[in-house]
Amino acid sequence: MKKKILISLVVLGLIFSGANMASAVCQVLGKVVYIHVIPLSLTTQNAYIFVNVPAGTVMPAYFYFFQTGNPSVISAALASESGNLGVRIDGDEAACPAAGAYRDGGIIQRIFTFTNIY
């Protein structure tokens, strides 16, 4: 009986854990190369974060850019840029664009930083 309850809870956890990730489908792995912060007022700002993919390319053919107004995400992006860290950004676009020099990844849902990925 306890085993059935445990299995049911695990299955429900897996089902509901995917609900938040459904909106983030454009995942980009690279390095933050430029951040443009736009102050909207004294207490709020918006930022465009540009990611070089692949990260080791000196003159890349394209960049992905993402948008956020979350101060924590902006701080994480600034730290990854200044620390020369790798980053994975999950945006809310339906799919990552495959054409163009500047490719819109949408609004940032999650940001992860990594050391020594390239």
Share of the chain above pLDDT 90, in %: 36
Query: What CATH number is associated with residue 72?
Result: 2.40.50
Cα 71 → chain centroid: 14
Q: Are 32 and 49 in contact (CB under 8 A)?
A: yes
Could you give the number of structural domains in the chain? Answer: 1
**Quick one: pLDDT band at residue 60, thresholds 50, 70, 90?**
confident
Average pLDDT of the segment spanning 39-61? 79
Answer yes or no: is 98 within a domain: yes
For residue 109, is pLDDT > 90? yes
Answer yes or no: is 40 within a domain: yes
